[in-house]
Structure formats: structure tokens, C-alpha cells
Amino acid sequence: MPAGPRWPGHNVALRRPPGLRSLLPSAASERLHAWHPGRARRWQKYPGLERIDARGCAALTFDDGPDPDATPAVLEALDRAGVHATFFFLGTQVESHPDLAREVVDRGHEVALHGYGHERQDRTPPQRSAEDLQRGFSVLDESLGVQCRWYRPPYGRMSAAAARTCASLGMSVVYWSTWGLDWERISAARIAEIVTGELDDGGIVLLHDSARYARRQSAAATADAIEVIVENARERGISLTSLGDAVSAA
């Protein structure tokens, strides 16, 4: 993979996936790193896609599904808003809810990998880490006919073993530039406020269509926030779309 540009003030070159011109952080992601300096160091060690070098669009992504709790409501909200998104699925959830997983694909959304289980890779033994990614990749391939292009590590935590396995499976690592803090017990209005406050061209939005690994009981508030987020983005000339489509537009 060719070397990409370097972060100012650092000697770590960011490796850019094919077809991408830049992985440089925006002002929004720089603020996020300022709040979380440990994350900045981790993401420099295992570079991935935090944003896309594209104008007029941003990627809308969801983690932890599919889940009957909120995935159906998220799909309905996306339909009403007229946008597609990328769903980072867990293999365990696909096995538990295969029809719902298929519905996501049938509605034209992009599917990517969040792992088989919800493993924090930096605390997972190397062999188990490799098996988690390989098994998750296989489940999505066998159940949905999807060979995943993207992998987002749970909690944004990578490891050398996870990075090697991603490369062997042909997947690029994806992080995010803005999120909705929607694992917390907050309202739809607050989720939308947080996302739109940081959203800009080329951003990658992280939301959740499941509360399985959250502090809240349901992810319904996320579904309720979607149309407000999409409308606000459009008012600023930003079209929300899937990660793959946003990369293609770069």
C-alpha cells in the first residue's frame, strides 16, 4: 500500500487505501484528537480511514447490528431521507438475525465488518483476534454474499494481529471523524446536535443501530435523529451517503 501524506508534527506516514487521495484529518477530527490524545497515538500506530478527501459529501455509518431493536427503524428513516449508509455488522448478529441482515443489503445499503464478536482488539490474544476477523468475514460472505471491503474495530482499538488479518483479507481499516455519543442515554435531538456540530465535507459519521454494547437500553433515539442529521447536512451542501460511494466520489 503506497505511503500517504504525513500528519504535521509527526513522523508517521498515513497509508492510504487505493483510490484515496488523503487521510489527513479535518479540523473536526483534529478537535476529536485533542480531546482524546491517546486515540490519536493509537490511530497513528495503526493508520486507517478517518475521513475522505471529498467535497459535498460525507459517509454515514452504523455499528453493532443488525439488531431488531433499531435496525428496522434506522432503515425506515434512511428510506424517508433518501440516503444510503454503511452498516458495520457483527458476525454474531448476522447469525442471530439473518433476514434483517439481508434486508439491509436488499435496500441498497453497504455492509462492512465490525468483527465476529465485539472484540477489543488491543486486549485480544493474536490468534483469537485473527480468528474473530476471519470468522466474521466468512459469516458475511456465506450469509450475504458480501466480501467486506472495510473493517472498523470495536472501540476504535486495533492490534498488530488485527492489522495483519485485515490486510490478508483485503480490508481497509476505518475509524471516524465525528460521532453522536449515541451509546449514552441521550435524546435524538442531542445526538443530532453533536453530529451536526462536527460534520464537514469528507467526514465519516459513527452511529449505532444497536444498544447491545451501550449504556442505553435502546438505540431508537439514533433512528429518530437520522432525518434531522440528513436535513441539516443538506442545508450545508453535504450529501450523506455510504462509505463506498463517498470514496468513489473522492
pLDDT in tens, 5-55: 222 222 222 333 333 333 334 455 455 544 565 667 778 889 999 999 999
Give the whole-angstrom CA distance, residue 159 versus residue 123: 8
Q: What is the pTM of this model?
A: 0.86
Backbone angles phi, psi at 150, to 5 degrees: -125, 150
State the catalytic residue, choosing from 33, 53, 63, 118: 63
The larger pLDDT score, comparing residue 178 to residue 5, is at: 178
Q: What is the mean pLDDT of residues 69-84?
A: 99
Q: What is the reported pLDDT for 39? A: 66
Q: What is the mean pLDDT of the chain?
A: 88
Q: Calculate ∠ Cα 185-151-77, nearest 5°.
A: 45
In the residue annotation, 36 being an active-site residue is answered as no
Give the three cell numbers for residue 41: 497515538
Element holding 51 (H helix, E strand):
none
Q: What is the reported pLDDT for 83? A: 98
Place of cell 482499538: 157
Report the helix count and the strand count for the chain, using DSSP H and E.
10, 10
Paired residues of 3 in beta bridges = 15
In the residue annotation, 99 being an active-site residue is answered as no
State the catalytic residue, choosing from 33, 84, 109, 208: 208
Q: Give the CA radius of gyration of the chain.
A: 17
Q: What is the reported pLDDT for 89? A: 99
Domains annotated on the chain, with CATH: 48-249 (3.20.20.370)
pLDDT in tens, 181-234: 999 999 999 999 999 999 999 999 999 999 999 999 999 999 999 999 999 999
Question: Residue 4: which of 250, 230, 189 has the closest Cα?
Answer: 250
Q: What is the mean pLDDT of residues 124-142?
A: 98
Q: Calculate ∠ Cα 166-195-192, nearest 5°.
A: 130
